[in-house]
Amino acid sequence: MIFVLRRKITENLMKWKANPKRHPLLVTGARQVGKTYSIEDFAAKNYESYIYINFEKSPSLRKIFNGDLDMETLIMNITARFSETKIVPGKTLLVLDEIQSCPNARTAMKSFSGDPRFDVIATGSLLGLNQSEVSLYPTGYEEYMEMYSLDFEEFLWALGIGADIISSVSTKLNLKEPLDPFILETFEGYFRQYMAVGGMPGVVDDFIVNKDFGRVRAIQKNIIRSYEDDISKYAKGVVRTRAKECLYSIPDQLGRRFRYNEVTGVHGARRSMYDGGIEWLIGAGVVFKSYKITEPTPPLTYNRDMALFKLFLHDVGLLVCMMESDTVSMLLEGSPLVNWGKVAESAVACEIVRKQIEPMYFEDKNLEVDFVTVIERDVVMTEVKSGNNKMSKSLDSVMSRKIGHIRGVKLERSNVITDHTGVEHYPLFAAAFIFPDDSGYKL
C-alpha cells in the first residue's frame, strides 16, 4: 500500500497555474524526492489532458526536439507522437521529466513561453552537471521551484497528525509560550522518528505502512547506492572518485568546517583536489553548503567567507543511514551515547534550507554559532544543542556586542523559555516552525 503524501509543492504549483503571466516551470531537486509523482498528481487533478515525457526512460523521445525548435514544429512533432492525447488549448500540460537528458528540450522552453496551447513543467535532478550541452538557455522565459524530501511538518501530515494540533503547536512556539508537557514529549518523539526516517517519499511510505526501521535502513541504503550509480555514470575523470570520497566523509565532518585533508586522510590535500567532487554533489542536489560569515551583520551574504564552509547531506535520514546501524535505536531512545549534536544540527540545517533560507554560521576565535539568519530585519543567531544545558556562552558573547538587532535562539531538548539574558530556548523540532517559510511561489 502506498499513501498519497501531502506535499507543500502542490500549493505552489496551484499558485503558478493561477498566474496568467506564467512561464514554463522548472522543478529541480535530488533524485527520488517526489518531483515526478507530485507533478503527475497535480496534472491529473488540474488539467483536462497532459503529456508525460521521461527523457531517461524513453530516450527515443528526444528526437521530438531535434531540428527546429519553433513552436509550430514542436507542436507538429509532439502531436504526431502523442496522437491519442487530445490537446485542449490552455488546458493541456506538457511534463518534461529529467530534462537534463535532452538539452534541446531545455532550449525549447523559450518557445513554449507565452504560447496558449501548452502549460509546461520540466523536472531536473542533475541540471547543474550538463550546462555546457545546452546551446541557449531560456533566460527570462522560465520559472523555478526547488523540491526537497519531506520536511518535518510534511512528515507529521504523513503520520496523520491533525492540522489543528500542528497549528496549535506552531502558534505557541511563535508566541514563545511553553507547550503542554504531553504535547512536548509527543512531538519530541515524532522528531526523533523523523531524524531516523528522514523525508525521502519512498522511505516514508514504507515506514507509515510497516513501522519497521530495518526496512527503512534498507531502502535508504538503496537510495545512497543510486547516488553512487549516478556519480559513476555521469561524473567524469577524477571527479568521479572525489565525489564519492566527499559524500562518504560527510558523517565524520558534521558540525565543523569541512577539511579537505580529512576526506581520505591524505596529508596536504588541497581545495583544488576536491572542489570538483563537491560541486558535482551540489549540482545533483545531494549536498548543500553552509558558509562561514565574518561578522553577524546584514546583509549576511556580504560577509560570507567563500573558502570556509560546512557540508550537509540533503536528507537527515540518509545521513543517519550512513552512520553505524545502532545509531537509530539510540536516537529513538534519546540515548546520551549517540552523537545528538551532529544529527540535530543536520536536521535543523535541512529544515532551514527547505524554507529557501541560505544556511550560514559564525565563528570567531573560540566562539561558534551554528546558524545565522535574518528574520524581519533581526539577525537571528541559533545554536543547536543535544542536551538541555541553558548556558549559551557563544550566544551571550555575540549578543553582548550590541550589534544591531540580534536575537539569540537555542534549539535543545527543553520547553519554550526566554532566559534572563534574552536568549530564547525551544525544543529541537521548533526549527520547522519558527523560521519564516520563503519557499512559497510568488505571484
How would you write 209-265 as a 3-class SS string?
HHCCHHHHHHHHHHHHHHHHHHHHHHCCCHHHHHHHHHHHHHHHHCCCCCCHHHCCC
Q: What is the CATH number of the domain that holds 126?
A: 3.40.50.300
The pLDDT-based confidence of 409 (bands split at 50, 70, 90) is very high
Per-residue confidence (pLDDT) for residue 378, from 0 to 100: 87
Contact at 8 Å (CB) between 352 and 238?
no
Asked if residue 443 has pLDDT above 50, the reply is no
Name the average pLDDT for the chain: 89
Asked if residue 292 has pLDDT above 50, the reply is yes
More confident residue, 402 or 104: 104
Q: How far apart are CA 245 and CA 104, in angstroms?
A: 33
Residues 158 and 129 in one domain: no
pLDDT tens per residue across span 46-55: 999 999 999 9
DSSP single-letter state for residue 9: H
Residue 442 falls inside a structural domain: no
73-82, 253-262, 272-281, 324-333, range with the lowest pLDDT = 324-333
Range of the domain at 170: 152-432
Residue 1 falls inside a structural domain: no
Q: How far apart are CA 155 and CA 195, in angstroms?
A: 10
Per-residue confidence (pLDDT) for residue 127, from 0 to 100: 73
194-203, 296-305, 431-440, range with the lowest pLDDT = 431-440
Per-residue confidence (pLDDT) for residue 217, from 0 to 100: 96
Q: How many domains are contained in the chain?
A: 2
Asked if residue 129 has pLDDT above 80, the reply is no
Residues 95 and 218 in one domain: no
Contact at 8 Å (CB) between 429 and 402?
no
Percent of residues, the chain, with pLDDT higher than 90: 70
Residues 38 and 178 in one domain: no
Residues 185 and 228 in one domain: yes
Residues 293 and 396 in one domain: yes
Place of cell 526549527: 431
Residues 87 and 156 in one domain: no
Per-residue confidence (pLDDT) for residue 383, from 0 to 100: 94
Per-residue confidence (pLDDT) for residue 77, from 0 to 100: 94
Contact at 8 Å (CB) between 351 and 411?
no
pLDDT tens per residue across span 171-213: 999 999 999 999 999 999 999 999 999 999 999 999 999 999 9
Q: How far apart are CA 353 and CA 149, in angstroms?
A: 11
Boundary residue ending a domain (146, 171, 201):
146
Q: How far is CA 438 from CA 12, 105, 352, 368, in A?
A: 11, 29, 10, 26
Residues 165 and 228 in one domain: yes
More confident residue, 216 or 4: 216
Per-residue confidence (pLDDT) for residue 1, from 0 to 100: 45
Percent of residues, the chain, with pLDDT higher than 70: 91
Q: What is the mean predicted confidence (pLDDT) over 228-239?
A: 92
The pLDDT-based confidence of 366 (bands split at 50, 70, 90) is confident
Per-residue confidence (pLDDT) for residue 87, from 0 to 100: 87
Residue 4 falls inside a structural domain: no
Boundary residue ending a domain (97, 116, 146):
146
Per-residue confidence (pLDDT) for residue 334, from 0 to 100: 77
Per-residue confidence (pLDDT) for residue 130, from 0 to 100: 52
CA dihedral in degrees (197, 202, 208, 212; nearest 10)? Answer: -60
Choose among 332, 126, 125: nearest CA to 217. Answer: 332
Asked if residue 241 has pLDDT above 90, the reply is yes
Residue 55 falls inside a structural domain: yes
Q: How far apart are CA 61 and CA 82, in angstroms?
A: 11
Q: Which residues, 6+ apart, have CB-to-CB distance to 176 below 8 Å? A: 416, 418, 424
Residues 101 and 202 in one domain: no
Residue 412 falls inside a structural domain: yes
Boundary residue ending a domain (80, 113, 146):
146
Residues 173 and 245 in one domain: yes
Residues 285 and 413 in one domain: yes
Residue 361 falls inside a structural domain: yes
Residues 165 and 257 in one domain: yes
Q: Letter for the amino acid at 266?
A: V
pLDDT tens per residue across span 69-93: 999 999 999 999 999 998 888 899 9
The pLDDT-based confidence of 441 (bands split at 50, 70, 90) is low
Residue 2 falls inside a structural domain: no
